[in-house]
Structure 1
């Protein structure tokens, strides 16, 4: 066994330092009995000996320092290799091993020590030489391969991965070329589907000829997906060119017309290949990215590496929307606006009964007990998405009684309806329900008490929301009445729009931003603290008193604002649980971006008061009195609506603590894989302590990810006349609109052209960059920290009085809401023009 050369069968996966990742994998496959063309490897000591013998090492390190001009550095380094002699003992061993193979045409490939690893493939960073013939050509190809360790792309790639130049070395694989025959085909196989992360699907690309052009993307390929022993998907391409061998090297030639649209792999060969892939993945215990070739009907493996950056598995995207209950109408509105994603199984089970009870109680009070009957109202899910369900007969009964019921909801006193009822009764009652449970340590509660407590707090939250539902129309009507009066009877040319009289007021989202801004100012004044915000324990070098005060200040912020949910599904953490997004916002303010919210609010308030004085001064007594009354009402209800919405999830931190405690107990007893999996149980499973296998939890998560890619209809069945009649009342716009222009509701004036940033939830908040257009399905008060960064806001769901609209006005940025399709049609990085006056979004390029 030589220091400088090893045959494949002398290598294994533990030999990366000696043979590089590619060669170590080929050795591992050979020793496992898999069909690998024979070959050998010149080891990393051979490369090191060449560098030492030629004396070029110091120059290489000097030229390859990070941050330089990599194109120029690569050119100069590779010139150092040109014409240099390979040490005689290495050359002799390489030629002898080549002759043992029978001196066939060979492929000469790099095998770097930082290559084909679990967390980084480094694919394509060094060079490959195909169809090398003869001893002299072999030695030249080896030396050129060594030089390719220093290509510009390899230098840049390693810098991005923080791998220093003196940490890498290179081995060289010499492998017998598969003979080119009429049936020769090659391609790539992923033993987990890279498109959707599914570990139970194998994805194959195949083309005629040799595989190098497939790997580089130079030729079209047939694409297949194999699942459960059958070809599940097949796309046969028009394969116009293929790579073939020549006397010296390779070239691309046209594919014969007869074979261009002929499948490269029939089902039999596809399944044979998939079986090989499954065997290789099983051997390594991880998904593999495999290069394969077929010749004379034999399937051979020429490379295997771990699949890197594989996404979480995604289930099928729903295309049909089956209605679970007959003779009814389904709507995604009201509280559903706070649930943009499919629901977790536990939340779906618990919220169904909770909303049904609270909404039924509201309807009985508004319409009378004789109107509503058992089963008239439900809150089911379809493909995971929540819908209100109303039995048709019940809906018509309610419509007939609505003229008498609406005044009760909007103007009734001494109840929890409207702004006064919310302030005086609904909110205090919710706080009291939370207080009754919040003081009881979860560790001292029984399993039944924990589950009952979570249910009772959820009921308190949905009951509270029924009161908030009466605040929303009050706020809407108050603003509409003021705008109508102002626009028709007061406004003159040159006067500001009506919304200028409604900005500059405090609401919980604005108070939260000011609190975070003030905290950032304090942090910035403490030496060394800004760099330690993610630390859970005090760094030794930091003043203990500064650390204690930091924790107290941040905990106070979380105690007041940390309950505000990004999404009402309690499976999603609130900021109090995972404050990372708040720390990102804190760092944003520390960087001096976003401006002072106190000053912004003061300027808005000053403009508002100046406009108000100017208008009042020219009005007569009657119009002035009406102006004052309507304006006061609109100014009171708008911020109240934001405060009311922000506190819907007031009990969510306590609910999550209770359920996670149950999850910990179940995980500890082996009933559940992990505590966080509790949200993926059905309610009956949790209540009965039923054991749920890890694969069932994984299947539910996978199904949820597929459902999340769907765009749920706003109403079912989609009846044309009803869809048109309710279009203005529904929170999302036309989901069938096509063309370049996306139309929604112009909810905050102004025009901006900037890159889009499409965000699915708080886990993606860190992707937002200052000046981008925030694009989301919807926003809740917990999203407000992003408005300081955004140049505009575009949503699928929302209207002129939604959270997005009100906060966008406070920030003075354009908003187009309720588009229905923005997150489906726009992509992050795409430059778009947002016209908040016209309610339109168009591509800018």
Structure 2
């Protein structure tokens, strides 16, 4: 048992013995960086005084655990062996005594400030007492809550304590080697103030701020620096009032700090959050370094120079990460789409050339569009209807010299579009939609039937045959999408024509698209509501018990629910991901929604009544628009709006068929997973979703049998970590910059987004980050990051919708309009700035969300920073 180490004895492999902070200080010391000398009391010492904690963790009520654990540690005697170990590393004089937990300063969770530090501690007895208090600080309420939020087992965390020579600093502060607000890499942000760095770290002072990039100071902001924390001669610290004008660092010192930060980042290979101090003699010391855990990981770009990426996940309403098999499947789909446009793909499993991934999410390289005259004209219009805020960001990026136009001619684009239109029979599909919409609808259904036939595979198929089949159908699905989209887009074209002829804006005609037919998603939602009207109320027990009864065959309503799942069981939340369970795999969400419906007060209009009312109101609006256009034009307006109502529901059909395809592939891969698990290559059949298609083929062929279990375990951990990420950029540059964070001004008092569904509603907000198990009372306003069809059962009871992502034609907006729910989308950071239970007002016509008085602090004017 080793109770203490000097920094020179510590390396990166000793996390379990010395904790994150000490492991970093040991690495930095061994790398020759200017770290004040010191040592570390190991986690073995903590273990000697923490006897009884395991039993306490197992038995103490959750609300009492932190206080009782602190009480136990503060009361436990410090063994003589630990006192001797402290004496062995205490250098005499003033030291800093700092907590170093085994779950601290890690790449995925910094735990910054969660445990305690004691400064200017003098004398062995005082050091021992500070050590005891550091041990107890592992169990502060904030540290316990942080561990629970990050999924870290309390019993697995132990604490070491750093004892380090105190730097009596003239100036100190913190430095991020990447900009924590904009995300830009290699841009040092330095906060500095006179005295000890505690004043800056604790937020007790407004420091000077400097921003440095590539050896150039880009920004200088002088703080008021009204206070400094100073060391006292006999130990401890005091606060001193200051009247400090000017900057506390010279330009030379700022550049020296930035150079030190670059050395630290180069050593770790990742951006770092550091603490530093400059003593009275002008010597610069590095007192701490930890990873910056809030930065979004950079996409793996395939081209040189600055690139701009748009989040495919945001466009699809899937906020969380995709499984590795989900990413692999979508990349293969993108290769099929690229081939459809005549672009050759070198490796179809790598995806189309603009596609890359990062953080378990897909990104599209939009740099070619930024540098093209046609791209600058077309893409903002596309984004304005699907992801409006991204369109604004795109326009802003066109002003940057790095994205100046290099492709001026429109001819290459027009030639490709022309060839694509002929190959996909676009003119004939548009003509069919206009002249005979019933046949267009029938064609879309026939395409679905042909797809179903193509998806069939014999139960006796071998794993390799299943892989071959999966790869074929995934690569072939894009033409199915392309064959239906012209008919749906014709409907929107007719809406635009009616707007021009009637003199009414698209916003004024918005209600024409309420309760449209031929939309498989709204048909599904209404069928679910009708199911709720046909079955008896569930027993008043938790949803988990209802699900268990369903699987056991003892739920009285099981046959009716199973019939619904036979038709719609391929759907689910984040359904574009091959690795995510469908409702047929896990009916928890559907049974929970049904339980919610069955509790509803049905004295008011029911969803089916509201849907019928919406259709009647749409027809009345068509009559008004036709009358406004006049006798001749009015006939055209009536025709156009009738076609729009008939056709726009087809917008959801391509997505529906994609999900049908993905579900068929998922089920086939489940069989392959069972095969690999039976061979011992995977622990469970579900592990197959954490491998890519080429990796599954390698495993089936017997390659590297010892690799797959470890690889799956690593990816499951990364996936779980990314699921906890609360912020995903809409757009991201290859240097890490999030363009939206550069200058997104929030409206004072109100939140501003994109109008999505007209109407005004006031009601209590319900912030939902994951629809699984979510309960939405009738009339509550759903506030969420984004939505896909798996969310829409919640819409039937929602009084309104506020969404962080999306535009006027995004999925959530379309469904909200069809249900007549006032909706505002593209509201930055809405899930943070609105609290569950707050009574808010949603104005779907103006795109504003009004917060209650007292909530203005969350919506204060200024730059919206990354959380």
> Structure 2 length normalisation: TM-score?
0.58
2:1 corresponds to 1:6: no
- The separation in 2 between residues aligned to 1:213 and 1:583, in whole angstroms, is 53
| Equivalent residue in structure 2 for 1:427, among 444, 449, 459 | 444
Tell me which residue corresponds to 1:244. 230
SS in 1 for 2:231: strand
C-alpha separation in 2, matches of 1:576 and 1:17: 34
- Taking the aligned partners of 1:609 and 1:236, their CA distance within structure 2 comes to 58
Contact 1:442 1:657 in 2 (8 A): no
CA distance in 2, matches of 1:155, 1:576: 31
2:595 and 2:189 mapped to 1: Cα distance? Answer: 45
Question: Cα–Cα, structure 1 residues 806 and 840, in superposed 2: closer, same or farther, change >3 Å?
Answer: same
Q: Cα 1:206–1:505, aligned 2, differ >3 Å: closer, same or farther?
A: same
* Contact 1:558 1:576 (8 Å CA) reproduced: no
Within a 5 Å distance, the mapping from 1:394-409 to structure 2 comes to none
**In the alignment, structure 1 residue 754 sits paired with structure 2 residue 738:** no
Q: Is the 8 A contact 2:514 2:614 kept in 1?
A: yes
Q: Is the 8 A contact 2:198 2:229 kept in 1?
A: yes
1:175 counterpart residue number: 164
State which of 488, 491, 495 in structure 2 corresponds to 1:465.
488
For 1:506 and 1:466, how far apart are their aligned partners in 2? 14
| Structure with more contact order per residue of length (Cα contacts < 8 Å, sep ≥ 6) | 2
Give the match for residue 274 of structure 1: 261
Question: Which structure is larger by alpha-carbon Rg, 1 or 2?
Answer: 1
Instruction: Tell me, in whole angstroms, the C-alpha distance in 1 between the residues paired with 2:54 and 2:331.
Output: 61
Is the 1:479–1:634 Cα contact (8 Å) retained in structure 2?
A: no
Give deviations 1:147-186, integer Å, cap 9, x for gaps.
4344343344445556666555433221101133x4x333
Structure 2 partner of 1:128:
117
Matched with 2:275 is 291
Decide whether the 8 Å contact of 1:315 with 1:703 is kept in 2. Answer: no
Distance in 1 (CA, whole Å) between partners of 2:217 and 2:665 is: 39
SS at match of 1:647: helix
- Distance in 2 between the 1:50 and 1:794 partners? 51
Matches for 1:768-787 after TM superposition, within 5 Å:
770=776, 773-774=781-782, 784-787=792-795
- Find the counterpart in structure 2 of residue 645 from structure 1: 651
Q: Secondary structure at the match of 1:6?
A: strand
Gap change, CA 1:463 and 1:26, over 3 Å in 2: same
Do residues 213 (structure 1) and 227 (structure 2) align?
no
Query: In structure 2, which of residues 582, 590, 593 is the aligned counterpart of residue 589 of structure 1?
Result: 593
Distance in 1, matches of 2:513 and 2:316, equals 31
1: CA distance, partners of 2:434 / 2:612 = 33
Task: Give secondary structure in 2 for the equivalent of 1:793.
Answer: strand
1:113, 1:432 → 2: CA distance?
A: 56
Note the 1:373-412 alignment, pairs <5 A. Answer: 381-382=378-379
Distance 1:789 1:606, change over 3 A: closer
Q: Deviations over 1:410-447 (max 9, x none)?
A: xx999431673554665357558857976799966999
Change (3 A) 1:528 1:511: same
Deviations 1:63-91 (A, max 9, x none): 9924234686477447626xx5x444433
Unaligned runs of 5+ residues in structure 2 are 302-313, 319-329, 343-371, 386-408, 411-428, 458-464, 505-509, 618-634, 670-691, 699-728, 854-867
Asked whether the 8 Å contact 2:228–2:240 carries over to 1, the reply is yes
SS state at 1:278 partner: helix
Which stretch of the first structure deviates more once superposed, 512-521 or 107-116? 512-521
Give 1:600's aligned residue.
606
Q: Deviations over 1:316-337 (max 9, x none)?
A: 9xxxxxxxxxxxxxxxxxxxx9
Q: Secondary structure at the match of 1:513?
A: helix
Aligned to 1:703: 733
**Residue of structure 2 in register with 1:95 after alignment:** 87
Shift in CA distance, 805/17, structure 1 to aligned 2, threshold 3 Å: closer
Q: Secondary structure at the match of 1:592?
A: helix
| CA 1:708–1:226: 2 relative to 1, 3 Å | closer
Match of 2:525 in 1: 513
User: What residue in structure 2 maps to residue 722 of structure 1?
Assistant: none
Are 2:610 and 2:819, in contact at CA under 8 Å, matched by a contact in 1? no
Tell me the secondary structure at the aligned position of residue 433 of structure 2.
coil
Within 1, Cα distance between the matches of 2:266 and 2:275?
14
Instruction: For residue 647 of structure 1, report the CA deviation from its aligned partner.
Output: 1.7
Residues 345 and 414 of structure 1: CA distance in aligned 2, closer, same or farther (over 3 Å): closer
- Aligned counterpart for 1:311 among listed residues 269, 292, 296: 296
Task: For 1:748 and 1:516, locate their aligned partners in 2 and report how far apart those are by CA, in whole Å.
Answer: 25
What is the rounded CA distance, in whole Å, between the counterparts of 1:823 and 1:758 in structure 2? 15
Distance change >3 Å, CA 480–CA 769, structure 1 → 2: farther
Secondary structure of the corresponding residue to residue 116 of structure 1: coil
Alpha-carbon distance in structure 1 between the residues aligned to 2:790 and 2:201: 44
What RMSD, in angstroms, separates the aligned Cα atoms of the two structures?
A: 6.6
Alpha-carbon separation, structure 2, partners of 1:43 and 1:802: 54
Query: Could you say if the C-alpha distance between residues 60 and 224 of structure 1 is closer, same or farther in structure 2, counting changes exceeding 3 Å?
Result: farther
Distance 1:777 1:287, change over 3 A: closer
Deviations 1:573-631 (A, max 9, x none): 599997799967425415535867999345548989999xxxxxxxxxxxxxxxxx9xx
Q: Is the Cα contact below 8 Å between 2:176 and 2:273 reproduced in 1?
A: yes
Answer with 434-443 or 192-201: which moved more: 434-443
Aligned with 2:219 (options 234, 237, 247): 234
Tell me whether 1:67 sits opposite 2:56 in the alignment: no
Residue equivalent to 1:257:
244
With 470-479 and 419-428 compared, the bigger mean Cα shift is at 470-479
Distance 1:50 1:777 in 2: 45
Measured in 2, the distance between the counterparts of 1:59 and 1:741 equals 47
Against the structure 1 CA distance between its residues 61 and 635, is the aligned structure 2 distance closer, same or farther, given a 3 Å change threshold?
same
What are the equivalent positions in structure 2 for 1:346-361 lying under 5 Å apart?
A: none
Contact 2:21/2:290 (8 A) holds in 1: yes
2:488 and 2:649 in contact (8 A); partners too: no
SS at structure 2 position matched to 1:140: helix
Offset, 1:35: 2.5
Measured against aligned partners, the alpha-carbon deviations of 1:789-822 in whole angstroms (never above 9, x if no partner) come to: 63302579877x9986785477564x145x8x64
Deviations 1:767-787 (A, max 9, x none): 977365346899786753341
Distance 1:707 1:543 in 2: 52
- Does the C-alpha gap of structure 1 residues 533 and 18 become closer, same or farther in structure 2, counting only changes over 3 Å? farther
Q: Distance in 2 between matches of 1:743 and 1:118?
A: 34
| 1:460-539 matches, cutoff 5 A | 460-469=483-492, 472=495, 508-515=520-527
Residue matched to 2:172: 185
Q: 1:141 aligns with which of 127, 130, 135?
A: 130
- What residue number does 2:834 align with? 829
Q: 1:511 to 1:8 in 2, by over 3 A?
A: same
CA contact (8 A) 1:504 1:810 kept: yes
Structure 2 counterparts to residues 336-347 of structure 1, below 5 A? none
Question: 1 CA distance for matches of 2:19 and 2:40?
Answer: 9
State how far apart, in whole Å, the 1-side matches of 2:474 and 2:153 are. Answer: 54
Residue 269 of structure 1: how far off its partner (Å): 0.7
How much has 1:281 moved relative to structure 2? 0.9
Q: Within 2, Cα distance between the matches of 1:163 and 1:14?
A: 20
Give the direction of change, closer, same or farther, for the CA distance of 1:224–1:551 in structure 2 (3 Å limit). Answer: farther
Q: 1:429 to 1:113 in 2, by over 3 A?
A: closer
CA shift digits 1:501-548 (9 cap, x unpaired): 9879895333212455688999998999975999xxxx9x966999x9
Q: What is the alpha-carbon distance in structure 1 between the residues aligned to residue 787 and residue 135 of structure 2?
A: 54
SS of 1:416's partner is helix
Give the stretch that moved more between structures: 652-661 or 199-208.
652-661
Deviation at 1:304, TM superposition (A): 2.9
For 1:218, what is the secondary structure of its paired residue?
coil
C-alpha distance in 2 between matches for 1:45 and 1:777: 44
